Structure 1
Amino acid sequence: MNDIVRIETDPRRSRVVVYNGVVYVGGMTADDRSQDIKGQTRQTLEKIEQFLARAGTDKSRVLTAQIWIKDLARDFEGMNEIWNAWTAPNAAPTRATAQCEMGAPDVLVEIIVTAAAGR
C-alpha cells in the first residue's frame, strides 16, 4: 500500500498531497494581491513551482491545470502571457480556464495543478 504524503497541512486543507505517484497541488494565489494579473499569475506559478519541488517533482511533469480568473474578458490575455512563458518546453499540460467569483475581492487568479511524481 502507498503512503499518503501531505505538505503544509492545517485543519482545513493540505497545500499538497502526494499519493500513488501523483502530486496534487491545491489552489494557489498570489501573496501580494496589489499586483495586476501578470504579477499575481507570476507569483502564483512561482509558489506552485516551489511546492512541486518540495514534493520531488517539477513543472515539466504537470499533467493538468485548472485556472480561475476573476475577470476573464479583462485578464485572460495577460494571464496567458505569463502562463505560456512558465510552462516547460514541449510539456504543456491539459488545462481548463474559467471565470469565477473569488474567495477574496483582491484575488485575480487561482491555479490548481496535478503532476506526476518525480522519477
Structure 2
Amino acid sequence: MPVQRIESNPRMSAAVVHADLVFLAGQVPDDRSLDAAGQSREVLAKIDRLLAAAGSSRENLLSAQIWLKDIDADFAAMNEVWSDWLPAGCAPARATVQARLASPEVLVEIMVIAARA
C-alpha cells in the first residue's frame, strides 16, 4: 500500500496516510500571541484542514495527544474549546500532559490519529 505524505518537507510531514489511517504531526498555532483558548481554536482549525486533505474528519478521530505549556493555567480553557469542537459521540482516546514545548510562546500542541472516511 502506498504512503501519502501531506505538506511534507525534508524534516517531517504534517500528515501521513497509510491504508485507512491518518497520522497528523503535532500542530501548533501560527499566532502565538493568542491565549490558550485562541491557540486551541487555531490548532483545531489546522487539524480540520489536514484531516480533510487526507480524506477524513474530526468525526473519525481515534486518538489525540495534547501538550500544554502550563496544565494548571490552561487545561480548562483548552478543554472547553476541545469539547465545543468535538462532535457528540466522537470522543477519541486522549492524553493531555504538561510539557516544555518547542517555542516559549506556544501554549498548546495537539496531535491526532484518525480513520479515513
- Give the TM bin, normalised by the shorter chain: over 0.9
Q: Which amino acid aligns with 2:26?
A: G
Match of 2:39 in 1: 40
Where structure 2 has 5 or more consecutive residues not aligned to the other structure, the ranges are none
Distance in 2, matches of 1:49 and 1:93, equals: 15
Shift of 1:56: 0.7
Distance in 1, matches of 2:21 and 2:73, equals: 34
TM-score (norm 1): 0.97
Distance in 2, matches of 1:61 and 1:88, equals: 10
How many residues get paired?
Answer: 117
Distance in 2, matches of 1:9 and 1:113, equals: 17
State the superposition RMSD in angstroms: 0.5
Alignment deviations for residues 52-87 of structure 1 (CA, whole Å, 9 cap, x no partner): 000011000010000000000000000000000011
Distance in 1, matches of 2:105 and 2:89, equals: 33
Match of 1:26 in 2: 25
Where structure 1 has 5 or more consecutive residues not aligned to the other structure, the ranges are none
Aligned residues: percent identity?
A: 46
Shift of 1:33: 0.5
